[in-house]
Amino acid sequence: MASACTNGLDTGFIELGYAKVAALGVVQGITELLPISSTAHMRIVPALLGWRDPGSAFSAAMQAAALAAVISYFWKDVRGMVFGSIGAVVRRDFSDWNFRFAMWIVLASLPIVISGVLLSPVLNACNTPLRSLPVIGISMITLAVILAIAEIYCDHSRKFDQINLKDAMIVGIAQCGALIPGVSRSGSTLTAALFRDLNREDAARFSFLLG
């Protein structure tokens, strides 16, 4: 079923009811941490079950809970980065790794923030073609192929402490692809990190710390 509109915005979730929202929450929890686009599954599952499209606003809200889970899992890294950065500022030691990495995370987040604001009228519009099932299917297949290429052909030799500003910006720009339903945020950033020759574990770690 198509989405619902309220003042030109996609608000289909209002008509879903608690049981369907809870079911989609389970789907979100399973798919968010995998490179398979939770946003796409928030569109595909309702379509298969004959439910109304919950809309982009619902997908964004569901991702907030997943972000809390990621922060909890990587709390040691997040805490070290935050307190290390504060300590570096107090000491005026701006060459400190934690401070530099925190700044890279901020800079790498700018592309998707700016793109999201500029494209918001299109992304959140009622019945936007970007949420059509053909677009989502093509996006998922395309990302899967690119991720497979990165997995097979890249070196995977670099470690987490070798990440630099160029790596952060490339991965941050790649994250903009996630604005298209079907392109996984973790999948796009993981793929970019692998193309920068990070090993698999540290590429995944960097991907989740970024967002």
DSSP secondary structure letters along 145-183: HHHHHHHHHS---B-GGG--HHHHHHHHHHGGGGGSTTS
CB 171 within 8 A of CB 186: no
The string of pLDDT tens digits covering residues 27-72 is 988 888 888 888 899 889 988 998 888 877 787 778 777 778 788 8
Report the mean per-residue pLDDT for the chain: 87
Amino acid at 175: Q
Structure tokens at 134: 């053909």
Average the pLDDT over 131-136 and give the result: 91
Supply angle C-alpha 169, 102, 189, rounded to 5: 40
pLDDT for the residue 133: 92
Distances in Å between the Cα of 186 and the Cα atoms of 39, 157, 163, 202 are 11, 20, 17, 13
Structure tokens at 201: 């574990």
- pLDDT at residue 83 above 90? yes
- pLDDT at residue 168 above 60? yes
- pLDDT at residue 8 above 60? no
pLDDT tier, 199 (very low <50, low <70, confident <90, very high otherwise): very high
The string of pLDDT tens digits covering residues 88-113 is 999 999 999 999 999 999 999 999 99
pLDDT for the residue 141: 96
pLDDT for the residue 164: 94
Average the pLDDT over 136-150 and give the result: 96
Ranges of each domain in the chain: 5-210
Distances in Å between the Cα of 98 and the Cα atoms of 58, 196, 200 are 34, 20, 21
Structure tokens at 66: 């997943």
Average the pLDDT over 135-157 and give the result: 95
- pLDDT at residue 171 above 80? yes
In the block, tokens 């504060």 appear at 86
- pLDDT at residue 115 above 90? yes
